[in-house]
Amino acid sequence: MDIIKNCIRDIPDFPKPGIVFKDITPVLRDPVVFRAVVDALVEQHRADQFDLICGIESRGFLFGATMAYSMGVGFVPVRKPGKLPYKTLRESYALEYGTNVLEIHADAVTPGQRVLIIDDLLATGGTARAASNLICMLGGTVAAYGVVIELSFLKGRSQIENAPVRALLSY
Domain span including residue 124:
48-170
pLDDT digits (tens, 9 = 90+) for 46-61: 999 999 999 999 999 9
Query: Could you give the CA distance from residue 12 to residue 144 in angstroms, rounded to a whole number?
Result: 31
Burial class (CB in 10 A: 0-12, 13-18, 19+), 10: exposed
Residue 23 lies in a domain: no
For residue 166, the domain's CATH number is 3.40.50.2020
Query: Could you give the CA distance from residue 116 to residue 123 in angstroms, rounded to a whole number?
Result: 18
pLDDT digits (tens, 9 = 90+) for 106-120: 999 999 999 999 999
The catalytically annotated residue of 57, 59, 91, 103 is 59
Our count of domains for the chain comes to 1
> Of all helices (H) and strands (E), which one includes residue 129?
helix 126-137
96 is catalytic: yes
Residue 3 lies in a domain: no
At position 51, the amino acid (one-letter code) is D
107 phi/psi in degrees, rounded to 5: -115, 20
**Residues of the chain above pLDDT 70, percent:** 99
Between 96 and 154, the higher pLDDT residue: 154
59 is catalytic: yes
Does residue 98 surpass a pLDDT of 90?
A: no
Mean pLDDT across 9-26: 94
The catalytically annotated residue of 29, 46, 57, 96 is 96
Residue 114 lies in a domain: yes
3-state class (DSSP) for residue 127? helix
3-state class (DSSP) for residue 50? coil
Residue 58 lies in a domain: yes
> Of all helices (H) and strands (E), which one includes residue 36?
helix 31-45
Write the DSSP string, 99-116.
EEEEEEETTSS-TT-EEE
Does residue 84 surpass a pLDDT of 70?
A: yes
Query: Taking the mean position of all CA atoms in its chain, how far away is CA 83?
Result: 17
